Amino acid sequence: MPTIARIGPYRVYFYSHDMQEPPHVHVDRDDETAKFWLTPVALAYNIGFRARELRDIQRIVSERSAEYLEAWNDYFGT
């Protein structure tokens, strides 16, 4: 699972077998995890993050969505 960014306490990554799904990233901190679609940026699921922190994470993903989409396309060759 390629890590594409570390931002503060967060690790942003995708799984190498995720190519059958639309572009997205997973964001983890400790035991919390969330998945965000990249086009458009939208929450797919959340396990453990509180609402305020989740909004902050979504803002981070939104600000960097072009970078994350490029990493996705480079990795999967799309």
Instruction: Count up the domains in the chain and report the number.
Output: 1
Q: Are 23 and 38 spatial neighbours (Cβ–Cβ below 8 Å)?
A: yes
Confidence of residue 78 (pLDDT cuts 50, 70, 90): confident
pLDDT of residue 46: 98
pLDDT of 43: 98
Q: Which domain holds residue 26?
A: 3-76
Asked whether the predicted pLDDT for residue 1 surpasses 90, the reply is no
22 phi and psi, to 5 degrees?
-60, 160
pLDDT at residue 6 in the model: 97
Give the pLDDT confidence score for residue 26 in this predicted structure: 98
